[in-house]
């Protein structure tokens, strides 16, 4: 994906909610990216396949704003979806105490809590055209994300029980379905960064 010119650098902690032990990632991204670009980066870093809809939610003073790809079938009088392709991260989340929620696959409803751990701003005196180039990267993380289509948190729990017990009646079928390379406890920072580097 290369480097981005930006006047701010965001350090993010991303955790999939409702699962223990936790599945989490720490990453650094430029503030100048769109929320849609952040979505694509999250897909790569978490290990998803980018085959479902997504939404970002940000609540400030009890008002919740929703960002995604506008779709008349999803919008209602109670929920207006703002275009995530036209919304910059640093124009949306401008303080470290704000928390962004990212929902992926509106059927399985995988909820990710995104905590802004730190925002670094380019000093005013150093701002020029070539001053601050930021390469998105994953810093750390633990555990693989669930397989796509596993059926949400409940389905994932049942899936792990079957996968860990060779005598379970569903063990062989689920192992074939998920593939021999899947291991729920494995996560590679190097693989995540390699995938980030070639992201369109």
The CATH code of the domain that includes 123 is 3.10.290.30
Domain match, 81 and 55 both: yes
Residue 163's pLDDT is 93
pLDDT reading at 76 higher than 90: no
Between 29-33, 34-38, 95-99, 164-168, the lowest mean confidence (pLDDT) is in: 95-99
pLDDT reading at 131 higher than 70: no
pTM of the model: 0.92
Domain match, 63 and 19 both: yes
Number of separate domains in the chain: 2
Domain match, 55 and 117 both: yes
Domain match, 34 and 102 both: yes
Residue 169's pLDDT is 94
Q: What percent of the chain has pLDDT over 70?
A: 92
Domain match, 139 and 159 both: no
Residue 180 belongs to what domain range? 145-184
Residue 132's pLDDT is 74
Query: What are the tokens at 137?
Result: 């990267």
Domain match, 70 and 12 both: yes
Q: What number is the average pLDDT over the span 109-115? A: 97
Domain match, 37 and 107 both: yes
Over the Cα atoms of the chain, what is R_g? 18
Domain match, 48 and 132 both: yes
Backbone φ, ψ for residue 17 (5° rounding): -85, 150
**Rounded CA separation 120/147 (Å):** 34
Domain match, 59 and 14 both: yes
Query: What are the tokens at 134?
Result: 């930021």
């Amino acid at each position: 994906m290369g480097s981005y010119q930006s006047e701010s650098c965001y350090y993010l902690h991303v955790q999939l909610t409702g699962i223990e032990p936790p599945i989490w990632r720490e990453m650094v991204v430029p503030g100048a990216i769109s929320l849609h670009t952040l979505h694509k980066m999250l897909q790569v870093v978490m290990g998803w396949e980018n085959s479902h809809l997504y939404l970002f939610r940000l609540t400030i003073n009890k008002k919740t704003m929703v960002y995604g790809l506008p779709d008349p079938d999803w919008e209602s009088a109670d929920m207006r979806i703002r275009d995530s392709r036209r919304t910059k991260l640093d124009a949306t989340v401008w303080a470290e105490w704000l928390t962004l929620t990212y929902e992926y696959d509106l059927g399985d409803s995988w909820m990710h809590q995104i905590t802004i751990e730190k925002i670094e701003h380019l000093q005013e005196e150093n701002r020029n055209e070539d001053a601050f180039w930021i390469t998105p990267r994953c810093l750390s993380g633990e555990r693989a994300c669930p397989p796509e289509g596993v059926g949400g948190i409940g389905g994932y729990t049942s899936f792990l029980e079957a996968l860990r017990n060779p005598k379970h009646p569903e063990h062989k079928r689920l192992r074939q379905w998920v593939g021999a390379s899947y291991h729920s406890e494995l996560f590679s920072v190097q693989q995540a960064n390699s995938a980030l580097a070639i992201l369109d």
